[in-house]
Structure 1
Amino acid sequence: MATGRSSDRKGLVRDAVLAAAEPVSISDLGALCPDMVRRTLQRYLGQLVDEGVIERTGGGATIRYQRPGGATRPRLSFAPDRPEGTERPGPFAGIPLAPDAEEVLHLVTRPQSQRSPVGYRVDWLEDYEPGRSALLPPSALRRLHVLSDTGYADRPAATWGREILQRLLIDLSWASSHLEGNTYTRLDTQELIEKGNVASDREMTETQMILNHKAAIEYMVDHVDELRLTEHTLREFHTLLSENLLGDPMDEGRLRERAVDISGSVYRPLDVPSRIRECLVMILQKATAIPDAIERAFFLLVHLPYLQPFVDVNKRTSRIAANLPLLQRNLCPLTFVDVPPHAYTLAILGVYELTRTELLRDLLLWAYERSARDYGVLRQSHEAPNPLRLRYREVIRRQVRKVVLDPERDPLELVRTTLSEQVPADDLEPVFDLTMDELRRLHEGTLVRYGLHLSEWQQWKHRRIRRATRDGETGN
């Protein structure tokens, strides 16, 4: 005989299914009943189906529960009503939100004392089937595909990414850092990336964060052809993004081996190292199997921060990783320009505490539309890249590196001698000019492109100054 408590809990499950506007999965119900274990949910659902109160459709991971006959009713919303035509206050002002996203916003902005502590739900990840499940509804995905089209679909991977690299370095480095509280302005970021000028009134950690983003983005674009969504790739991204920013340098690129807390949240991530690795592998395998690049990007934006595989810098890592499938398909990047930091935090809280993605989905739609607009204008005005610079980009980079690492030799002689062994005679002079141009524009912000360390560049620069001074004194 059912006790009063079990009857009440079963009633919660029944009401959740009957109130849903569309068939719901057991994962959906788990988010609405976070204190109920999966096995209990399954038992109550089975009883309700047997009693004819609800219906079950589909099979396996596609099982859904609904009102008898498939009839639907308006979804219950816990979001407060707002008079029509009035502006939504707060960080989402001006950002269109669907009713389900409004509901998530209301739930995550309740006082923390009113939100129940929750842990990592591995079943939410396990239930996702690439190619069959979807975090983005078809209507949103269709809209995003229209926005993402750069006209480069038939070009080699990352052709578009390489053409817009300089703009992407500035936009994504600045916007992603801004979401973490970095106070660099976009102009400050441009000065740092293009000229190596450090903003004197900013913290060193802020400068480091910008340069780390730059290094990670350059690495991604440079190696986009061979990069795959593996643990090794993700750890490389994290190593570049976290350099000199973590309390323990050993944590750079290393999977988390201790518990972490999420500030301002009731969510507690996994704390068993072996389970963290297992779930990360599952995330990356499922992401790789997702046929749609945009769904894959959103999947990474959701599941990497939710797992928290590293002690810190997880969201930054997810934002870089999410752009990898987009650039590999020559789609418009997602730069997060103008995304309000608090709006992003609340959207991620919806994932952490409710395993609900609607708020992040609508924020993504709004942000991607802005990125697509900006980069669409850039595409229309973009000049074709120098074909010789593109063809000999690796040769030129090796020459620049060789010159810096051999400061005693004359750069002109070294470059000309080496290039004559690698470049056809017809291309020799223009490639020589391109190489010398790269050397003239070399500064501490571009060193990562050539695999150089700051100390190597400083030593080379100082020896050039001494040589110029010596030559001037001798009249040479």
Structure 2
Amino acid sequence: MADIEQNILDFVAERPLSGREAIRRGAAPDVSSPTIWRALKRLVDAGRLDVSGRGRGTEYSVAGSASVRAHLQTPYNQRPPVRYNPKFLDAYVPGRSFYLTQSDRDKLRAAGQPVGGPIQVGTYARRILEQLLVDLSFASSRMEGNTYDILQTERLIKFGKEAEGKDRKEAQMILNHKEAIEYIVDNLDTINLDRPDFFNIHALLSDGLLVDPGMAGRLRETPVGISYSSYKPLDDRITIEEEFDIIVAKAKEISDPFEQSFFLLVHIPYLQGFIDINKRTSRVASNIPLLKADLAPMSFLTMDDAAYIDGLIGIYELNNVALLREVHVESYLASAEKYRVLRAEVDVPDKAALAYRDVVRDVVRFSVLEAKRFKPDVVLARVQKLDVPKDDQDAVVAYAHEQFKGLHEGNAIRFKLKAADLVGVDLS
């Protein structure tokens, strides 16, 4: 099987954008079609082949950032002009097409899964909000040439203190990020990646930064250019509207939060639907799927700015996501741990931990020293005898059980217990 896959890679490397049947005939004519299809799927999932189109129009090319980097070796003003390609978006079928490989998605989920069990949607986002405001506002602004360092950014966000000798537009850019991020966290349960959500984010990010304030939160009606690229975005208002609606519709259908996030990072800048501030909109909006899924956010703090821009140019001029994907995955893996561990911190102590502290201590000690395990019915009867109001009894029992299950020799002292007291106790 390894030989078949290598034959496929060799064939596609020599003949980019080959179809399935051409690959079967040229790479392994004696192998059945189903075997070839399975091999192609494995190569796509492993990130070794890129796929575009669908059905009979499905085409394969060798994946990787090397081709993008090679393309960028030619000065931008010597590269042939490239216009917006609607087939790039059309070829993406949610649930069947993936820019991130299965291996990428598995790695990202392992890195982004917060410590601890499920909690109410939005609780994790609020818990990390203070840190995210600083990190994402700083990093995303830095990518736009903002000269505030991270400490100056923190002082501006927390205390409203502008750095001396800086352009006031830089402070405005950072504070706009703060407003946009707070909007997402405050409305996380109702934001569904609908058209107005993107307009709201763009309006907040562009406040005070556009020559025409009326273009904040509105799709553009005039042409735009891309610095240091041969890419020419759409200049037809009606087509821009149509393509933007397709982006929104497809984004909503993507079930994997990491794929959904990356899809926004690719297509919002590619369309350039707004007069300006498209990349900022994509970076902030890309966090919505992650936060809604209770995953560590993407702060862009560790991302290499030049590689990020190169990755976008690879999309603009080649419709190749390989370099941006490489940069994105590497950056997320490097930064996610910071937000995972914040999840372990308790946001607000449980009522049972405060109002019924002595009761919880009593039933935990009883369960360890006498019952040798946690018996909910027995504990409930004990809680009732300790005059806990009926409305709070079940919550106290549940909280006491969680504390009991978390006992070990290093924390037994909280209940005036010794390590030796836990010997022979069923802590389930």
Q: TM over 0.5: same fold?
A: yes
Kindly tell me: are residues 258 and 386 of structure 1, through their superposed partners in 2, closer, same or farther at Cα, counting changes over 3 Å?
farther
Code of the residue aligned with 1:320 in structure 2: it is: V
Q: What is the match of residue 234 of structure 1?
A: 198
Matches within 5 A, 1:380-459: 380=344, 382-385=345-348
Is 1:185 the counterpart of 2:149 in the alignment? Answer: yes
Work out the percentage of aligned pairs sharing the same amino acid: 40
Match of 1:141 among 105, 110, 114: 105
- 1:2-13 paired onto structure 2 within 5 Å: none
| Distance in 1 between residues matched to 2:23 and 2:73, nearest whole Å | 38
2:213 corresponds in structure 1 to: 249
Q: CA deviation at 1:230?
A: 1.4
Query: What amino acid sits opposite 1:140 in the alignment?
Result: D
C-alpha deviation, 1:356, in angstroms: 0.6
Match of 2:240 in 1: 276
SS of match in other structure, 1:20: helix
Relative to the length of structure 2, the TM-score reads 0.70
Matched, 1:101 2:101: no
Aligned residue for 2:333? 369
Deviation at 1:156, TM superposition (A): 2.2
Inter-partner Cα distance in structure 1 for 2:279 and 2:326: 18
C-alpha contact (below 8 Å) 2:53/2:91 kept by paired residues: no
Match of 2:414 in 1: none
Residue from 379, 384, 401 that aligns with 2:343? 379
Call closer, same or farther: CA 1:60–1:309 in 2, change over 3 Å: closer
Aligned-pair Cα RMSD in Å: 2.9
Q: Name the aligned partner's letter for residue 384 of structure 1.
A: D
1:218 to 165, 171, 182: 182
Q: Distance in 2 between matches of 1:153 and 1:276?
A: 43
Counterpart of 1:170 in structure 2 is 134
- Taking the aligned partners of 1:23 and 1:145, their CA distance within structure 2 comes to 34
Structure 2 CA distance, aligned partners of 1:298 and 1:304? Answer: 10
CA drift at 1:21: 5.2
Aligned counterparts of 1:124 and 1:17: Cα–Cα separation in 2: 22
CA 1:372–1:285: 2 relative to 1, 3 Å: same
Give 3-state SS (helix, strand or coil) of 1:225's partner. coil
Query: In the alignment, is residue 317 of structure 1 matched against residue 317 of structure 2?
Result: no
Instruction: Give deviations 1:204-260, integer Å, cap 9, x for gaps.
Output: 100000000000000000001001111111000000000000111111111010110
Q: 2:333 corresponds to which letter in structure 1?
A: E
Q: Distance in 2 between matches of 1:385 and 1:197?
A: 29
Q: What is the distance in 2 between the residues matched to 1:22 and 1:138?
A: 25
| 2:12 counterpart of 1:20 | yes
Amino acid at match of 2:118: D
Aligned-pair distance for 1:191?
Answer: 0.4
Provide the rounded CA distance (Å) in 2 between the counterparts of 1:323 and 1:312: 20
More off after superposition, 340-349 vs 166-175: 340-349
Equivalent of 1:261, from 207, 225, 230?
Answer: 225
- The answer as to whether partners of 1:262 and 1:268 remain within 8 angstroms in 2 is yes
Q: CA deviation at 1:347?
A: 1.0
Q: Please state how far the C-alpha of 1:340 moved relative to its aligned partner.
A: 2.6
Q: How does 1:336-347 map to 2 (within 5 A)?
A: 336-347=300-311
Q: CA deviation at 1:198?
A: 1.0
Distance 1:328 1:187 in 2: 28
Which amino acid is the alignment partner of residue 157 of structure 1?
Answer: V
Change in 2 beyond 3 A, CA 1:149/1:259: same
1:297 corresponds to = 261
Task: State whether structure 2 residue 54 is matched by structure 1 residue 61.
Answer: yes
Change (3 A) 1:51 1:375: closer
Distance (whole Å) between structure 2 residues aligned to residue 280 and residue 111 of structure 1: 30
Distance 1:62 1:138, change over 3 A: farther
Distance 1:23 1:128 in 2: 22
Aligned residue for 1:88?
Answer: none
Counterpart-to-counterpart distance in 2, 1:343 and 1:115: 19
Which piece of structure 1 moves more, 342-351 or 233-242?
A: 342-351
Do the aligned residues in 1 keep the contact of 2:77 with 2:229 (CA within 8 Å)? no
SS in 1 for 2:65: helix
Any stretches of 5+ residues in structure 2 without a counterpart? 1-7, 38-51, 352-428
Distance 2:310 2:267 in 1: 16
Aligned 8 A contact 1:178 1:184 in 2: yes
Pair 147,113 (structure 1): closer, same or farther in 2 beyond 3 Å: same
Distance of 2:73 and 2:200 partners within structure 1: 35
Instruction: Compute the displacement of 1:135 (Å).
Output: 0.4
